[in-house]
Amino acid sequence: MDYSKLKRRASYPFETIAVAVAFSPRLEALVSEGAVLAKSCGAKLLLIHIGERTRNKESKLDDLVTKLQLKEDQYRILWNDGDPVESLLHLCKLNVVDLLILGAMKKESLLQYYLGSVARKISRKAKCSVLLLTDPANEGTVFKKMVVNGVENPKTVYTINTAVYFGKCVSTSEVFVVTEIHQPGLAMTMADEATAGEMTRIKKENKAEELERVHAIVTRCQRQGDMEICEKTISGKPGYAIRHYAEQKKANLLVVNSPDQKLGLIDRIFTHDIEYILEDLPCNVLIVHSRVNETT
């Protein structure tokens, strides 16, 4: 299969937005969200269903697009059989999807979480950005407040830029770029050798260094309109700390980098990074997949 169009494709603008259609009770809300976002971003809309194509399903979708007043040139419906995760990811690659929208439970049962639901599996494996909507609405979700990860990673600059672009499309007013400070082993070292003054100084220096680093990225990113961008440092384990912060801030959207490596069951047992977020979504989550460093 030729995926060359994907190679080094920028993570934004979103030219093609896909919605994973599952004919669940949230079908209308999810497709509406897709339509609203496609309009805001000036993107094409793809409705993808993996499963049996029946007359009943076809008429349901036809009724829905009529209700949403979508014109024929604004959307396409794709049907496919097979494994939901693999087929969906394959179709996304084939159609150069920039953003895939999925409905997701805020928290899944323990067994389901460890086995992996479709939405979570796609979030871990997708080669495009993924928007997980915990509570899709017919009139479209308001993304007023956004928390974006500022973790030290080559992907972060693209994630922040994508978040700012998306924020402009959906009229976000507040953006918090947050970096997490976590230094394992530090407490033990400090307890042994540091004076109270040295301990305070080291913590202050760490915080200042992180802020400076995030500030440098934010300065480089393309600010949009009167969007307010705030830079913050928080202490705690990566993934968990930002999830907690997004909850506390009552953010509408949490924007994070896509995983750096293949995640498996062991990563769910010894939870780290994005797994803390997928374990219990604090709000809607946008996982930005920047393809810049990829070879395929």
Partner 1 sequence: MEKLNNTDLVALLLAIGTMLILSRIVAELGKRWKMPVVMGELLVGIALGPTILGTFNPELFNTLFPLKTNPHFSIALDGIVSLSVILLLFVAGMEVQLPVVLRQGKAAITTGLGSMILPFATGFAIAWWKPEWFGLTAAQGDGYIFPIFLGTALSISALPVIARILMDLNLFKTNIGMIIIASAMFNDLIGWLVFSFILSYAGKNGAEHMSVWTTVVAILAFGAFMLFVGRKLIDKVLPWVQTKLSWPGGVLALCMSVCMFSAAFTESIHIHAILGAFIAGIAIGDSVHLREQAREIIHQFVTNFFAPLFFVSIGLKVNFIDNFDWLTVTIILVLAFIGKVAGASIGARLGGIDKRSSLAIGFGLNARGAMEIILGTLAYDAGLISQTVFVALVIMALITSLSSGPLMRRYTTELT
Instruction: In angstroms, give the least distance from the CB of 165 to partner 1.
Output: 28
SS3 labels along 75-124: EEEEEECCCHHHHHHHHHHHCCCCEEEEECCCECCHHHHHHCCHHHHHHH
Judged by beta carbon, residue 185 or residue 197, the one nearer partner 1 is 185
Instruction: In angstroms, give the least distance from the CB of 186 to partner 1.
Output: 6
Judged by beta carbon, residue 28 or residue 279, the one nearer partner 1 is 279
Judged by beta carbon, residue 204 or residue 272, the one nearer partner 1 is 272
Q: Strands, E, within the chain: which ranges?
A: 16-21, 44-50, 75-80, 99-103, 129-133, 145-149, 174-181, 228-235, 253-257, 284-288
Q: Which residues bind partner 1 (CB under 8 A)?
A: 152, 183-193, 202, 206, 209, 235-238, 240, 260-261, 266-267, 269-273, 276
Judged by beta carbon, residue 125 or residue 237, the one nearer partner 1 is 237
Rounded distance between C-alpha atoms, residue 98 and residue 9, angstroms: 9
- Look at residues 46, 77, 42 and name the one whose alpha carbon lies nearest to residue 59: 77
Neighbouring C-beta atoms of residue 198, cutoff 10 Å: 11
Instruction: In angstroms, give the least distance from the CB of 185 to partner 1.
Output: 4
Judged by beta carbon, residue 111 or residue 266, the one nearer partner 1 is 266
| Residues with Cβ within 8 Å of residue 245, at least 6 apart in sequence | 147, 176, 178, 232, 234
Judged by beta carbon, residue 1 or residue 191, the one nearer partner 1 is 191
- Sheet containing strand 16-21, edge to edge, reads 75-80, 44-50, 16-21, 99-103, 129-133, 284-288, 253-257, 145-149, 174-181, 228-235
